[in-house]
């Protein structure tokens, strides 16, 4: 099977519609796909209709923003019931805070001499209530302030950088609880990307497991063989299931991989997809 359990559409910060995401994944040989838009499940119905036409097994998913010890961590929910009221209440709350964060970042950028970031960023977003730092990075590239999105994050937007704004997202415990309430499986997204010490990473994994989390992404985007081997060992150590995802947003994205295609996981992994149903 060719499996991709983490990707994005125009419902959050991707450039392909949910239908186009499924079509592209199918063209790339994918047989099981999870659409995991940020804090939003609005694309799942359309994706499912297209998946039925293409013969792809679609897994209902979402990627939820978490504040953990002063850092932003992302938790993917797989196999969720999108209509679950507790989950949707949480997602609505998270979306409502995004415009406030955008204004705060725009104010910081203006002090750096970069004007019009608020309006310019909104012009990049398909859904205004789903504006993300990726949309701000797009504005910075398109307005000529940086050459590429990676530079926007390195210079201005990444945690701890000059225009970063610490935003209070959801708590880890409430996110895992909401995913479980919706019948889903909670997965730590791209753990290799977080700048955490070995001790902090162990603490994150331990707290995640204690509140009901059951899986981590052993592969994400363009992570290499060493990452896969290291996180396979950590999954084994903590008793986590192993997931994988392209984290696709658009072609040529600095962090994403090929939509619908992930490398084989190390043989010591226990795949999360053995516990999924469409």
Judgement on whether residues 105 and 71 belong to the same structural domain of the protein: no
Judgement on whether residues 110 and 88 belong to the same structural domain of the protein: no
Between 53 and 132, name the one with better pLDDT.
53
Query: For position 132, which CATH number holds?
Result: 1.10.150.650
**Percent of the chain scored above 90 by pLDDT?**
83
Judgement on whether residues 47 and 126 belong to the same structural domain of the protein: no
Measured distance CA(158)–CA(264) in Å, rounded? 30
- Is the model's pLDDT at 264 over the cut of 90? yes
DSSP 8-state code for residue 121: H
| Residue 91 covered by a domain | yes
| Residue 56 covered by a domain | yes
Judgement on whether residues 88 and 112 belong to the same structural domain of the protein: no
Judgement on whether residues 110 and 227 belong to the same structural domain of the protein: no
Cβ contacts of 77 within 8 Å, gap of 6 or more = 36, 61, 62, 63, 64, 87, 178, 179, 182, 184, 185, 186, 187
The per-residue pLDDT for range 215-257, each reduced to its tens digit, is: 999 999 989 999 999 999 999 999 999 999 999 998 877 668 8
Of 1-5, 42-46, 74-78, 114-118, minimum mean pLDDT range: 1-5
Judgement on whether residues 132 and 270 belong to the same structural domain of the protein: no
Query: For position 19, which CATH number holds?
Result: 3.20.20.140
C-beta separation of 33 from 4 below 8 A: yes
Judgement on whether residues 262 and 222 belong to the same structural domain of the protein: yes
* pLDDT at residue 254 in the model: 63
| Residue 105 covered by a domain | yes
Judgement on whether residues 208 and 75 belong to the same structural domain of the protein: yes
pTM given for the model: 0.89
The per-residue pLDDT for range 49-77, each reduced to its tens digit, is: 999 999 999 999 999 999 999 889 999 99
Q: What is the DSSP annotation of 125-152? A: -SSGGG--HHHHHHHHHHTTSSSSHHHH
Domain hosting 206: range is 3-95+171-275
**Percent of the chain scored above 70 by pLDDT?**
99
Judgement on whether residues 45 and 130 belong to the same structural domain of the protein: no
| Residue 162 covered by a domain | no
Judgement on whether residues 192 and 264 belong to the same structural domain of the protein: yes
Q: Which of 126, 157, 188 represents a domain boundary (last residue)?
A: 157
Strand order in the sheet with 185-188: 3-4, 32-35, 57-68, 71-78, 185-188, 215-220, 241-245
| Residue 19 covered by a domain | yes
Specify the number of domains making up the chain: 2
* For range 10-14, the mean pLDDT: 91
Judgement on whether residues 131 and 245 belong to the same structural domain of the protein: no
Judgement on whether residues 9 and 71 belong to the same structural domain of the protein: yes
């Amino acid at each position: 099977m060719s499996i991709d359990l983490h990707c994005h559409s125009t419902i959050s910060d991707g450039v392909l519609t949910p239908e186009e995401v499924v079509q592209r994944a199918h063209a790339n040989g994918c047989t099981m796909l999870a659409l995991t838009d940020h804090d939003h499940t609005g694309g799942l119905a359309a994706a499912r209709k297209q998946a039925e036409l293409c013969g792809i097994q679609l897994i209902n998913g979402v990627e939820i923003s978490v504040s953990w010890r002063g850092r932003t961590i992302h938790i993917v929910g797989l196999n969720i019931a999108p209509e679950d009221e507790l989950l949707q209440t949480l997602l609505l709350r998270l979306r409502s805070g995004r415009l406030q964060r955008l204004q705060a970042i725009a104010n910081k950028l203006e002090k750096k001499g970069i004007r019009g970031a608020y309006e310019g960023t909104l012009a990049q977003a398909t859904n205004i209530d789903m504006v993300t730092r990726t949309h701000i990075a797009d504005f910075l590239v398109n307005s000529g302030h940086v050459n590429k999105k990676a530079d926007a994050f390195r210079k201005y937007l990444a945690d701890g950088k000059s225009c970063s704004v610490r935003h209070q997202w959801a708590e880890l415990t409430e996110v895992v609880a909401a995913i479980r309430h919706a019948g889903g499986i909670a997965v730590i997204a791209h753990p290799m990307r977080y700048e955490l010490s070995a001790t902090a990473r162990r603490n994150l994994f331990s707290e995640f497991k204690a509140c009901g989390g059951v899986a981590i992404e052993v592969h994400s985007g363009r992570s290499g063989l060493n990452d896969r081997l290291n996180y396979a060992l950590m999954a084994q150590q903590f008793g986590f299931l192993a997931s994988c995802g392209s984290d696709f947003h658009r072609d040529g994205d600095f962090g994403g991989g090929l939509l619908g295609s992930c490398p084989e996981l190390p043989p010591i992994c226990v795949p999360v997809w053995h516990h999924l149903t469409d």
